[in-house]
Structure 1
């Protein structure tokens, strides 16, 4: 891994807000996604079968996974994995139930307030052709369940054998998913947005995916709600000279294991940075995907050395990472200074991987610097807030004249007259 010294040099590299030099015009991939969306809108299920055959190499005979198949999957995975998935589901549910009870409180006072209503139906995207991702299913479904969504639909691509992996189906059974469809990619997003003969249209689509899934979500926003546009995984680790170099290295490698995964370590100790670099070189040789991981470290990884940890925190805020791991002696002294991160992990044994699978918060997090304004998937993603105004509960005469004056200043005569008729003579 390259080591870069100095705040100014690192600031130039890690500041992501502003022009990036990339083109904002549609590229060929977006044009392809537009064509896929148009085909699904026009041909429905027939387009889904065709695209699944074309992109996944699988000829399906049906799109929906039967309920019996989903339930049977509970017996098809190792008991230890089943217990682990159940524990993860319970922890994710408990976390988001507490979040719901804390954040989602209706209020009406003096005629003004708000109503909170869960969405009727949502679609959760679960990647999984190359490898099963039951954790992504749980991380998308359990917050929706806690928020009270009435119907939850999961779409996930078939594997090369034409089936959805039993670990993913077992997770669906544990989470209480209403329907699972064996379809993925941009065509699955379009199906959820428009509805087809088999797949019902949803109010909102949540979950990560490849660039084609992301582009489909971007293009269909407005027809359907979305949670965000997610890119490659990323971590920033802030470490002092007391942090365990082996721990630091293991988390850098865990992020670099993802395609285009970004792994950054910031430290106020040049000696600590060098120890971590050496540990990375040692550990990467023992990984199953060592070549891909090394390439990602070369392309997207770095160790930054700064004068103090305050500078490290400021750089982290500029980068606005998906994950921020604080491996420092007194993390509580820095939490108040953090303004942009999807998830902050602290503790001497802290690791992003714990949050990826079983800690409790959803691992569907803002990436690419969007933690400046975005949040992790949470219960508020699955509800609507409706403002409430009850004119019988407050003195309308005391405010109607002011409203009428503003309407007249804006040149909206009908608005002014409507207000004038409400004033008691």
Structure 2
């Protein structure tokens, strides 16, 4: 495996497009098959999920999907105490950070004499958190999806996670659910889980919002049920961009680069720097480390989405950074706080040589459910705000209404809505 530095100014349009596009998948090709599953769940409910999971458990009934207290107890016996201890530390930091995101619950102002307007915060009644499973355990994703909802004040939080043979949920996932305080956990995955959460079945009550990462079928299902329920941003394979100047340490940056591509065959890592010497040193360090690394069978595939890029100067490096709009952005520059002011698009930002992406993945408190595939151009990472509605309100005195009477009636009639205007005149004439 060999990476070579590439100058951004010399990239062909095709090469630049392939770097920016990374492994973005067009899920439209699976819309029809996914929609068929969702439509079936809407009509037949639990029966569809039972039929699908009979392959894992022959005597399956709908009530078997709900995780029991005994399964939680069994999970604690399988997860090392040291892991439990550190999941609790991570949970504490996540709660602390997300509690700070809470706005004042209600505010109001006098817009004009006699006109009071304001806004109040109302948490969602329910939320469904999708947690990937089977191929790997992600207890950190359990904490990242559940705890912002809990902090926001959501009364009912539900978790779905794909089961293994015998309809068994991953014990690490179950322990993390218990630490986060959620008891309603269902052993369901893919579109079957999304459909059950969106439409409800006899055994699973529908939710108001579905959040959490999944594969392309989960993403397609979430996009198809949007409108029936709310969803977070569409999630794709993980990615990171490392923005560095001459102060960057090649041994750190090489490991940060490789840690990103060990995620998944479709993961992406890009280093952008204005220092050709640093770019070459990182390439050399990656080549030296690579034969000693685990998970190279995954990294070999992911490398097609990776690049080491040299910009003409730091302004050009920042321009590329904002265009790439990475899920994770590391800033390793002489003054990362100054650089931060020039960053417009990123899911989560890691500043300085001592803040690699894994600190946010697990324990610093920020959320790791983030927009991918340039979605950071318009989406933010998961937060307390995702679980709070913010309705506005207004109170007017008669004098306040009179001060706006002509404005309202004029605009209503201009839009061809005369009864709107009558609502105002009738009150002012009374």
Fold match (TM-score > 0.5): yes
Please tell me whether the aligned partners of residues 333 and 339 of structure 2 are also in contact (alpha carbons under 8 angstroms).
no
Q: Residue 86 of structure 2 corresponds to which residue in structure 1?
A: 84
Q: TM-score, normalised by structure 1?
A: 0.93
RMSD: 2.3
* The one of 76, 93, 96 aligned to 1:94: 96
Match of 1:277 in 2: 283
My pick for the range that moved more, 396-405 or 245-254, is 245-254
In structure 2, distance between residues paired with 1:355 and 1:17:
24
What is the CA deviation profile of residues 352-387 of structure 1, one whole-angstrom value per residue up to 9, with x for unaligned ones? 011111111110001111111100000010011111
Corresponding position of 1:223: 228
Q: Which runs of 5+ in 1 are unaligned?
A: none
- Mapped contact 1:147–1:379 kept (Cα < 8 A): yes
Match of 1:43?
44
Partner of 1:155: 160
The equivalent of 2:270 in structure 1 is 264
SS in 2 for 1:337: coil
d(CA) in 1 for partners of 2:383 and 2:16? 27
Whole-angstrom distance in 1 between the partners of 2:425 and 2:18: 51
Q: What is the alpha-carbon distance in structure 2 between the residues aligned to residue 175 and residue 19 of structure 1?
A: 36
Deviation by residue 1:194-230 (Cα, 9 ceiling, x = unmatched) = 1111111000000000000000000000011101111
Task: State the alpha-carbon separation in 1 of the partners of residues 325 and 136 from structure 2.
Answer: 29
- Tell me the TM-score normalised to structure 2 length: 0.92
Partners of 1:403 and 1:48 in 2: CA distance: 53
- Mark the CA change 1:307 to 1:19 in structure 2 (over 3 Å): closer, same or farther: closer
Give 3-state SS (helix, strand or coil) of 1:396's partner: helix
Contact 2:19 2:305 in 1 (8 A): no
Shift of 1:15: 6.8
Contact 1:119/1:384 (<8 A) preserved: yes
Distance 1:23 1:69 in 2: 36
Aligned to 1:301: 306
For residue 332 of structure 1, report the CA deviation from its aligned partner. 1.2
CA gap of 1:23–1:174, structure 2 versus 1, over 3 A, is: closer
CA contact (8 A) 1:185 1:212 kept: yes
Aligned length: 418
Q: In the aligned structure 1, how far is the partner of 2:152 from the partner of 2:67? A: 25
Deviation (angstroms), 1:9: 2.8
CA distance in 1, matches of 2:422, 2:4: 69
Question: Partners in 2 of 1:271 and 1:337 — Cα distance?
Answer: 24
Q: Cα deviations across residues 127-167 of structure 1 (Å, max 9, x unaligned)?
A: 01111111111000010011000010000011235311211
Q: Provide structure 2 residue ranges, at least 5 long, that are not aligned to the other structure.
A: 111-115
Cα distance between partner residues in 2 of 1:11 and 1:81: 47
SS in 1 for 2:307: strand
- Which deviations, in whole Å up to 9, do the C-alpha atoms of 1:224-271 show, x marking residues without a partner? 110111111111101112211121111211221122101000011111
Does 1:356 pair with 2:357?
no
Please identify, of 71-80 and 132-141, the stretch whose mean Cα deviation from structure 2 is larger: 71-80
Alpha carbons of structure 1 residues 18 and 300: separation in structure 2 relative to 1, 3 Å: closer
Query: What displacement does 1:53 show?
Result: 3.8
Q: Structure 1 residues 179 and 23 mapped into 2: Cα distance closer, same or farther (>3 Å)?
A: closer
Confirm whether residue 210 of structure 1 aligns to residue 215 of structure 2. yes
- Specify whether residues 316 and 180 from structure 1 end up closer, same or farther in structure 2 by C-alpha distance, changes over 3 A only: same
CA contact (8 A) 2:331 2:350 kept: yes
Q: Is the 8 A contact 1:15 1:318 kept in 2?
A: no
Other structure's SS at 2:367 match: coil
2:407 matched to 1:402?
A: yes
Q: 2:34 aligned with 1:33, yes or no?
A: yes
